[in-house]
C-alpha cells in the first residue's frame, strides 16, 4: 500500500494537461517590435527587421516568429462589420500582404491584442469580441497571438475571473481550426501559473521588463512572485529571474512556458556581461526568447551573443527548466546556482554572480547540483563552458569564475563512474 502511494506521487507531475493545439513543445523564439519601437511601427519596420533576422542567420538558428505588438490598427472598429481594421497608413499594402511576405521568408507571424476593451495603447481590444477577432486573425493566417491585460473592465482579481476571460479567446482560436500559439500577457496576476496551461501555450509572470540588470524601481513594486500588489513595469532582469525561479516548476514540454518578457539585448541599457546573464537565464529557465531590438542595427558582439548555438540548444531541448538549488549572499550581492537535466541525460548548470565584485574559484558541489539525483555525484563528468567553449572534466565539484553581474553556464555529460577513485579530477578519464 505504501509503495503504491509513493508510485502515484512519483508520476503525478507527468500528467499535467496542456492546451492541445500541437504547439509549444519547446519555448518559442523570434522577434517582437515593442521593446525598441513601442508604438512606432509600420510595414517597413516589421519587414526590415524580418529581413535582417534572416540575413543575420537568426531564422536558421530557430528565431522563427516575427511578432507585431500594439498599435497596428485604426482607433475604431469598422462600424458596419464590427471588425478591427489595420491602419492603412502604416500598412499601405495591407496586413495580409505583409504577413504573406513574412511567411515567404520562412517565418511564422505573431499578432497582438488585449483581453480588454482597449489594448494598452488604447486601440480596440478583443474582450467580448473574441470570435470575430480570432476569425479575422486566422483569415490573415497568423501563427501566434500575444494577448494583453489592459483595460480589462475589472474582470480580474480572482483566478477564475481571469481564467474565463483568457479561456474565451483560447476557445475562439481553437474554433478557427488554425493552430495558433497562444501567449498570455497577463503579468502574473491572479496566479496565472496555476491555471494557464489548459488554455494557453505561455504566460507572462511579471510586469514589463526594463533594460537594467537589477536597478530598484518603484513602478515594479514586487520583489517576489507572490506579492499581492500591482505587477507594474520597469522590472529589471534580476527582479524577473527571482520571480521566475520558483514558478518554472509549473512549466515544461507538457504544460507550457513562463514568459519572462521580450529581450533587451542590443537596446543599450546593460553591459555585455549583464546581457550574458539575461540571455543565459532566459534560456535555462525556458522563457520564450523574443529579441526586442533593431536587428538591422545590431553590434557584432550582441549578434554573436544571441546566436550562441550551445545556449540555444539548452533552450530548445525538450525538457523542463533548471531549478534554483540555492541563492547565497556574496560580496555586495548574491550568487545563485541553477541546475537541470536535459533530455539526453546531460545536465545544465548555471551560476549567476549578482555582486559588483568578481567571483573567483568558487566550488560548486555536485551534492548541490544533483540534489534529486544523488547517484550522479559518483561520476566524473565531461563539462563544457557554453560561453568560453572550454572543455574539461570534473568530479565532485565544478569551479566557478564569474565576472560581476555575469553568468557561467556549463553542459555536463556523464563520463565514467567514480565510486572508488577521485584522482580523475582535472584529468581526462579516457
Ligand atoms: C481544438 O481543441 C481540440 C480539443 O482539445 C484539439 O484536439 C484540436 O487540435 C484543437 N484545434 C486547434 C486548431 O487548436
Ligand atoms: C515606417 O516608419 C519609418 C520610420 O519611422 C519610415 O521611415 C517609413 O517611411 C515608414 N513606412 C511607412 C510605410 O509608413
CATH topology for 18-316?
Answer: TIM Barrel (3.20.20)
Put simply, whether the predicted model's pTM sits higher than 0.95 gets the answer no
Quick one: 323-424 is in which CATH superfamily?
Answer: Golgi alpha-mannosidase II (2.60.40.1180)
Angle separating helix axes 130-139 and 159-176, nearest 10 degrees: 40
Express each pLDDT in 230-268 by its tens digit: 899 999 999 999 999 999 999 999 999 999 999 999 999
Is 208 an annotated catalytic residue? yes
For a ligand 1 pocket test, name from 21, 167, 181, 197 the mutation site with the most ligand atoms within 8 angstroms of its C-beta.
Answer: 21
Q: Measured from the CB, is residue 92 less than 6 Å from ligand 2?
A: yes
- CA distances (Å), origin 85, targets 5, 74, 256, 420: 56, 6, 31, 71
Indicate the average pLDDT of the chain. 94
Alpha carbons 58 and 72: distance in angstroms, whole number:
25
Alpha carbons 317 and 346: distance in angstroms, whole number:
11
Query: Cα of 57 to ligand 2 centre, how many Å?
Result: 25
Residue 3 and residue 34 in contact, taking contact as beta carbons nearer than 8 Å = no
Cell numbers given for 125: 481590444
Strands 257-259, 202-204: pairing kind = parallel
Express each pLDDT in 74-89 by its tens digit: 999 999 999 999 999 9
Q: Which residues pair with 209 in a beta bridge?
A: 235
Alpha carbons 406 and 391: distance in angstroms, whole number:
19
Question: Do the domains spanning 18-316 and 323-424 agree at the CATH topology level?
Answer: no
Q: What pLDDT shows up at residue 419?
A: 54
Query: Cα of 20 to ligand 1 centre, how many Å?
Result: 5
Q: Measured from the CB, is residue 38 less than 6 Å from ligand 2?
A: no
Is 148 an annotated catalytic residue? yes
Q: How many CA atoms lie within 13 A of 13 on its CB side?
A: 8
The ranges assigned to domains in the chain are 18-316, 323-424
Which residue has the CA at smallest separation from atom 7 of ligand 2? 44
Q: Measured from the CB, is residue 42 less than 6 Å from ligand 2?
A: yes
Nearest to 344 by CA among 324, 319, 367: 319
Low-confidence ranges of the chain (pLDDT < 70): 1-17, 419-430
Q: What pLDDT shows up at residue 16?
A: 54
Which numbered atom of ligand 2 lies nearest the CA of 92? 13
Amino acid at each position: 500500500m505504501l509503495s503504491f502511494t509513493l508510485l502515484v506521487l512519483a508520476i503525478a507531475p507527468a500528467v499535467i494537461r496542456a492546451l492541445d493545439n500541437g504547439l509549444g513543445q519547446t519555448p518559442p523564439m523570434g522577434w517582437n517590435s515593442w521593446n525598441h519601437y513601442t508604438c512606432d511601427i509600420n510595414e517597413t519596420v516589421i519587414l526590415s527587421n524580418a529581413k535582417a533576422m534572416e540575413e543575420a542567420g537568426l531564422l536558421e538558428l530557430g528565431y522563427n516568429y516575427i511578432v507585431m505588438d500594439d498599435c497596428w490598427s485604426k482607433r475604431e472598429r469598422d462600424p458596419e462589420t464590427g471588425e478591427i481594421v489595420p491602419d492603412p497608413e502604416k500598412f499601405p499594402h495591407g496586413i495580409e500582404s505583409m504577413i504573406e511576405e513574412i511567411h515567404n521568408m520562412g517565418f511564422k507571424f505573431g499578432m497582438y491584442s488585449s483581453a480588454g476593451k482597449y489594448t494598452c495603447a488604447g486601440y480596440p481590444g478583443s474582450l467580448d469580441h473574441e470570435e470575430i477577432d480570432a476569425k479575422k486573425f486566422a483569415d490573415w493566417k497568423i501563427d501566434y497571438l500575444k494577448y494583453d491585460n489592459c483595460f480589462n473592465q475589472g474582470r480580474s482579481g480572482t483566478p477564475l475571473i481571469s481564467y474565463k476571460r483568457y479561456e474565451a479567446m483560447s476557445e475562439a482560436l481553437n474554433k478557427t481550426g488554425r493552430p495558433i500559439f497562444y501567449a498570455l500577457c497577463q503579468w502574473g496576476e491572479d496566479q496565472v501559473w496555476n491555471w494557464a496551461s489548459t488554455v494557453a501555450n505561455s504566460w507572462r509572470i511579471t510586469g514589463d521588463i526594463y533594460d537594467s540588470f537589477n536597478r530598484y524601481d518603484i513602478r515594479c513594486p514586487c520583489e517576489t512572485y507572490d506579492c499581492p500588489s500591482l505587477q507594474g513595469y520597469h522590472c529589471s532582469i534580476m527582479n524577473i529571474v527571482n520571480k521566475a525561479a520558483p514558478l518554472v516548476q509549473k512549466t515544461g514540454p507538457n504544460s507550457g512556458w513562463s514568459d519572462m518578457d521580450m529581450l533587451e539585448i542590443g537596446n543599450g541599457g546593460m553591459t555585455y556581461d549583464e546581457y550574458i546573464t539575461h540571455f543565459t537565464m532566459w534560456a535555462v529557465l525556458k522563457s520564450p526568447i523574443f529579441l526586442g531590438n533593431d536587428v538591422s542595427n545590431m553590434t557584432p558582439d550582441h549578434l554573436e551573443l544571441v546566436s550562441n548555438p550551445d545556449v540555444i540548444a539548452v533552450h530548445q531541448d525538450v525538457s523542463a527548466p533548471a531549478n534554483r538549488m540555492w541563492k547565497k549572499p556574496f560580496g555586495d550581492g548574491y550568487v545563485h546556482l541553477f541546475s537541470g537535466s536535459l533530455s539526453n541525460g546531460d545536465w545544465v548548470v548555471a551560476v549567476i554572480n549578482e555582486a559588483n565584485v568578481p567571483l573567483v574559484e568558487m566550488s560548486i558541489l555536485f551534492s548541490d547540483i544533483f540534489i534529486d539525483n544523488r547517484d550522479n555525484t559518483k561520476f566524473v563528468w565531461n563539462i563544457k563552458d557554453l560561453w568560453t567553449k572550454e572543455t574539461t572534466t570534473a568530479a565532485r565539484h565544478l569551479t566557478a569564475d564569474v565576472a560581476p553581474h555575469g553568468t557561467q553556464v556549463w553542459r555536463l555529460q556523464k563520463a565514467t563512474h567514480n565510486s572508488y577513485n577521485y584522482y580523475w579530477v582535472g584529468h581526462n578519464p579516457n
